[in-house]
Amino acid sequence: MGRRRFLRRFLGLGAVLTGSLAVGGKQAMAHPAQESPPADAPWSQSIGAGVVDRPYGRPADTEASVIRRNVPWLTASAESSVSFSPLQDLHGIITPNGLFFERHHAGRPDVDPAQHKLMIHGLVERPLLLTMKDIMRFPSVSRIHFIECPANGGMNWRAAQMNSLQFSHGMVSCAEWTGVKLSTLLEETGIKNQAKWAMVEGADGAHMNRSLPLDKCLDDCLVVYAQNGEALRPEQGYPLRLVVPGWEGNVNIKWLRRIKLGEKPWHTREETSKYTDLMPDGTSRGFTWLIDAKSVVTFPCPEKPLDGPGLYEIRGLAWTGNGKVKRVDVTMDGGVNWQSARLHEPVLSKALTKFTLPWRWDGRPALVASRVIDETGYVQPTIAQLRAQRGSNSVYHNNSIQTWQVKPDGSVFNVQLA
Amino acid sequence: MYSSRKICLPIVAVLLAAGSLAGAAEPGSFGYGSVATPAQIAGWDIDARGEDGAGLPPGKGTVDRGADVYAEQCAACHGTFGEGEGRFPKLVGGVGSLRDERPEPTVGSYWPFAPTLWDYINRAMPMQAPHTLSADDVYALTAYILNLNDLVPNEFVADRNSLPKVKMRNRDNFIWTDPRPDTMTKPCMNDCANAADVRISSTAEGRNLTPRTTGPLDTMQQK
């Protein structure tokens, strides 16, 4: 822009601004907030920052509260711990990479991709050692899937404890993953007939490992290097992780370094001492990989109360390890009456699905909850139904209906119903 | 000038690769990476199988030696006698507690397989310096922790033959096939309950367990 044109435009803007301020000031006394357009804001009166001012973008400074958060009293150390996604401030089915929940068993290693390798061995015809470059040459696929820690909601097994959407449901996130199908890699090594299981292992300090049935590996598992279009974040396993669609988070091994095929499961510490479900009769369920169907109302919620009576849009998320969400029902009266919500496209298999329902709140107390039905016909249970089967010491796989109590002042609380 | 033969070769290679995408491919069709050598595999092949100890390496360790290694490497977090410091895991006790209101799952009360203990110490402990213990010391620690739990006598020597034979208390109490779905519901839409019977049985209001969700990270500890 020439200097003259710039000055002309700048001066013109100043004239308009001065005028509007003057008019606004005069008329505000007679008809507040109606007559004049709002004054030009400071950011409209100056030139903004140039490109590459932030070569890798970041959220607006005013969004600084929208972060992963932890429960400091929950775990012995931050290195073997969890953080929760701020679901109350997220608006779609994709979790931004910086807000994807974390679960580490020995902290977040910072892996050098140039040195990282994946070994595939055991009951294979041709054991392989692959570099990241090798892996990225294989035919690639991109798929959108959620990952949920089976302990998501674990703090509410016994009673309503966490007065927060972030801390009651934030150990679920969803991303577009890009990588190579595990079946492609296993066909490249060849699979011996006796092989029935795979042991998958990370390069972290805990060499975190789990056993997986070979059928699942060949069905839909992915070995991925990208998340929402960019390289995996270190917190999600950079440079390489396993994605096991619809199964509990901990089998989606991060910093994946080794896959070994065998005849039998390994019964590792993470599938015996941990990630097993203790029943009231003292027995435990092992290999409970599947994430059952679950849904939650994300607005309103304890973090996002209502602002007086009127028309609102109930919003929420639903997901199931069985495949696709078929229907979500919403109640405002604690489950006496239900209405089916609108599902928003895309409705993808083993991915978060968004639902909404308009609601005119009359200002009276309400008990808001959602209930998902998946494509297998499975219906999300109440906490009472789950406890009747599993007691309250099973820690994992609490997929029960979440009830939010709305008080007349619009505040929202996590409650459970008898 | 390229000869037609030189041009054809890459095309054939591409066709072969494309063909292999469609159906069951021959091992090595892509030819990427390198075949892992026995020495390379041995370097990473650390797993020991819980049920039968397959993969346990040579070596051995006594309860006495384990006590020394434990005092140096483990006691700061897990307590002198495995009782656990702070929120770090207890390794001992809880026998008979699994049906209680507050069960205590430990190596003695919960773990089904002894070789898993060797495998886990070897792959993940001590937390601050994993993969620094010798196989003998891992055997010794395994022997000591089993002994603390009264699962093996004082003179027990842990090795690849003895560990799979240790009978763990909770071994037969795991169901390894998932019985879910274990709840059945027909999704009722109207008058599903008597409105007067809808009662709040528990609320998170006023519990003071929830860290804040705005502003800086919370550092709250349990009251």
Sign of CA dihedral A235, A236, A241, A246: positive
Count Cβ atoms within 10 A of the Cβ of residue B218 and give its class: 0-12 exposed, 13-18 middle, 19 or more buried. Answer: middle
In the CATH hierarchy, which top-level class contains the domain A294-415?
mainly beta
Task: Classify strands A284-285 and B174-175 as parallel, antiparallel or unpaired.
Answer: parallel
Residues A189-214 have pLDDT tens digits of 999 999 999 999 999 999 999 999 99
Report the candidate in B115, B96, B111 with the shortest Cα–Cα distance to residue B162: B115
Cis? peptide before B181, omega within 30° of 0: yes
Average pLDDT over residues A68-97: 96
Query: Would you say residue A15 has pLDDT above 90?
Result: no
| Mean pLDDT, chain A, whole residue set | 93
Pairing of strands B34-35, A128-131: antiparallel
Q: Would you say residue A17 has pLDDT above 50?
A: no
Half-sphere exposure of B222 (CA within 13 A, CB side): 9
Asked if residue A245 has a cis previous peptide bond (ω within 30° of 0), the answer is no
A415–B32: do the CB atoms touch at under 8 Å?
no
CB B156 within 8 A of CB B146: yes
Whether pLDDT at A37 is above 50: yes
- Residue A226: count other Cβ atoms within 10 Å of its Cβ: 18
pLDDT on residue A32? 52
- Average pLDDT value for residue range B53-82: 97
Nearest to B25 among A73, A187, A336 (CB): A187
Q: How far is B43 from chain A (nearest CA, A)?
A: 11
At A97, phi and psi to the nearest 5?
Answer: -60, -35
User: When comparing pLDDT for A294 and A28, which is higher?
Assistant: A294
DSSP assignment of B69-127: HHHHHTHHHH-TTS--STTSPP-S--TT-TTSSS----TTTT---HHHHHHHHHHH-ST
Is A29 a residue whose pLDDT tops 90? no
**A205 close contact with B: CB closer than 8 A:** yes
B63-73 vs B135-148: helix crossing angle, rounded to 10:
100
- Strand locations in chain B, DSSP E? 34-35, 60-62, 157-159, 174-175, 200-203
Residue A156 per-residue DSSP state:
G
pLDDT number for residue A1 = 40
Indicate if the pLDDT at residue A224 is higher than 50.
yes
- Lowest-confidence segment of A172-181, B106-115, B182-191 by average pLDDT: B182-191
Chain B interface includes A415 (CB < 8 A): yes
Instruction: Output the average pLDDT for chain B.
Output: 91
* pLDDT tens-digit map of B24-45: 679 999 999 999 999 999 999 9
Amino acid at A239: P
Question: What confidence category does residue A34 fall into, taking pLDDT thresholds of 50, 70 and 90?
Answer: low
Say yes or no: ipTM exceeds 0.85: yes
pLDDT bin (cut points 50, 70, 90) of residue B182 is very high
pLDDT at A22: 39
Closest to A126 (Cβ–Cβ): which among B28, B190, B192?
B28
Each domain of chain A, given as residue ranges in start order, spans: 81-282, 294-415
- Check if A405 contacts B (Cβ < 8 Å): yes
Q: Which of A226, A183, A184, A225 has its CA nearest to residue B32?
A: A184
What pLDDT score was predicted for residue A9?
46
Residue B157 burial class via C-beta count within 10 angstroms: exposed 0-12, middle 13-18, buried 19 and up = middle
Residue B75 has pLDDT above 70, yes or no: yes
d(CA A287, CA A256): 20
Give the pLDDT band of residue B22 (cuts 50, 70, 90): very low
Least confident of A12-26, A190-204, A294-308, A329-343: A12-26
Kindly determine whether residue A129 and residue B33, on different chains, have CB atoms separated by under 8 Å. Answer: yes
Predicted confidence band of residue A331 (pLDDT cuts 50, 70, 90)? very high
Answer yes or no: do B34 and A70 touch at CB < 8 A: no
Count Cβ–Cβ pairs < 8 Å, chain A vs chain B.
283
- Confidence bin at B223 (pLDDT 50/70/90): low
CB A206 within 8 A of CB A109: no
At B16, the pLDDT band (50, 70, 90 cuts) reads very low
Q: Kindly indicate the confidence band of residue A36, based on its pLDDT and cuts at 50, 70 and 90.
A: confident
From residue A341, alpha-carbon distances to A61, A357, A379, A406 in Å are 34, 5, 15, 19
Considering only residues B7 and A316, tell me which one the structure prediction assigns the higher pLDDT. A316
Residue A33: band (very low, low, confident or very high) from pLDDT cuts 50, 70, 90 = low
How far is the alpha carbon of B144 from chain A, nearest alpha carbon, in Å?
A: 18
Query: pLDDT tens digits, residue range A150-162?
Result: 999 999 999 999 9
Q: Which pLDDT band holds residue B185 (cuts at 50, 70, 90)?
A: confident
Between A80 and B3, the higher pLDDT residue: A80
Q: Is the peptide bond before A300 cis (omega within 30 degrees of 0)?
A: yes
Compute CA A22 distance to the chain's CA centroid, rounded to the nearest angstrom: 49
For residue B210, count other CB atoms closer than 10 A to its CB: 20
Percentage of residues in chain B with pLDDT exceeding 90?
Answer: 85
Q: Chain A, 285-304: which have a CB under 8 Å from a chain B CB? A: 285-290, 292, 302-303
Q: Is the pLDDT of residue A7 over 70?
A: no
Q: Provide, as residue numbers in chain B, all residues whose Cβ is less than 8 Å from the Cβ of A161.
A: 204, 207, 209-210
Q: Do A163 and B112 touch (CB under 8 A)?
A: no
Of the pLDDT bands very low, low, confident and very high (cuts 50, 70, 90), residue A131 is very high
| Whole-angstrom distance, CA of residue B119 vs CA of residue B138 | 9
Q: Once rounded to an integer, what is the mean pLDDT over residues A329-352? A: 98
The CATH architecture assigned to A81-282 reads Alpha-Beta Complex (3.90)
Dihedral angle at the C-alpha atoms of A341, A345, A348, A350, nearest 10 degrees?
Answer: -40
pLDDT tens readout for residues A52-64: 999 999 999 999 9
State how far the Cα of B90 lies from the Cα of A272, in Å rounded to an integer.
15
Q: Give the one of B49, B131, B195 whose C-beta lies nearest to A267's C-beta.
A: B49
Q: What is the distance, to the nearest Å, from the Cα of residue A54 to the centroid of all Cα atoms in its chain?
A: 26
- What is B58-173's CATH topology? Cytochrome Bc1 Complex; Chain D, domain 2 (1.10.760)
